[in-house]
Structure 1
Amino acid sequence: MQLSAKEKKRLKTKYGDWAIVTGATSGIGLELATQLANADFNLILNSRHLEKLKSVQYNLKFKNNIQIKIVDADISEPSGVEKIIQAAQNLGVGLLINNAGVGTSGLFVDASLHSEINMLRLNCETVLSLTHYFSQKFKQQQRGGIIFLSSLVAFQGVPYAANYAATKAYIQSFAEALSVELKPFNVVMCWQRLQDPSKAVSVNGLI
């Protein structure tokens, strides 16, 4: 999707020069990173896969005159979150896209506890940590935006995806509350509820 010159100007004026996208090498994260690059945002891109990050960096810089910093890190771990925060130091970051996440399915009693805890950390704790840090930054600069990836499963318990649905319920509730708390500081909260994870989304439709 190509944004108009007017829309590009609106986004840059409202949010500044830099955006962060977690889980940026595939799916929705890659699509949003591509749209932001087309809107002339400089980018901090995160993934666990260094070679894929390098490929995305090359392709986006080849097509757009922008700066891109890559952060290859597992952000389900606090050290990975800290790497993103460090990469953003002294940059005019105005957008945070909390895209990285995983899902599991099947009987909860048969699931790997390690996998379920890791999902909880990535889908919830990581989002909490990044949102807390950057919402403070955005409050101070009196502008910013945070995008969350919710789901239609956030609204009820879902058998055979019990923990995953619970993580999305957390995201939904968290984003809705923060949209009220941070509105006086000109910080925009957006949450996309997707039933089909492969569905493309539009940056200007969100923010």
Structure 2
Amino acid sequence: MHLKTLEKELLSRSLPERIQFIASYFAGERLVFSTSFGQEDQAITQAIASTKSAIDIFTLDTGRQFQESYELMDLTIKKYGISLQTFFPNTSAVETLVSEKGFNSFYTSVENRKECCFVRKMEPLNRALQGAKVWITGLRAEQSDNRADMPIIEWDENRQLWKINPLIDWSFSQLENYLQEHKIPQNPLHKKGFISIGCAPCTRAISEGEHPRAGRWWWENSQKECGLHA
């Protein structure tokens, strides 16, 4: 199927239908979904579970998560009866980073912060994606300028896989409605102003009117990305 036709097929469907279509179209290949248990990821997890789609679900545990995030992980696994693989950073790499630069080097420069993100996120992600033909994410165009022009499906030349963003065209109100309609569990930090939740020392609550990702790496004037979706 031509890429543009594939895009139209996906965009014309509901979220569960999109997930079913992806699983059917790429049947026989290894499909993976990366979740950080944010609102978008929770919606996709529910869609995968409800359609019983053959998609492997994984998460990255940086070692610096909020306790609320861990509690939501356990609740989600139990509620939907899903199998979840957790990828951790390489122990020696973390030990070297902390030994050479301390526990909070990410506050000192963008370069140091990206180094920490690489050790704790990028390297584990690369391992998690090995052997996958399709990588499903919870990205939405509204989330940041960097994501505004991302398509619903694209070929990732570096990783040699298809990257599919089934919520890329959704508004936040659409997402909220879906979460409420299906009674999907959410991180209680969302109600305290934490819209985009990452590592605990790198995330703060946002004020009314602030950009949704203003609370990520709040001390920086950067693109607010860790490199996973550059």
Fold agreement, TM-score > 0.5: no
What TM-score results when the alignment is normalised by the length of structure 1?
0.44
Larger Rg: 2
What TM-score results when the alignment is normalised by the length of structure 2?
0.40
Judging by fraction of residues, say which structure has more strand: 1
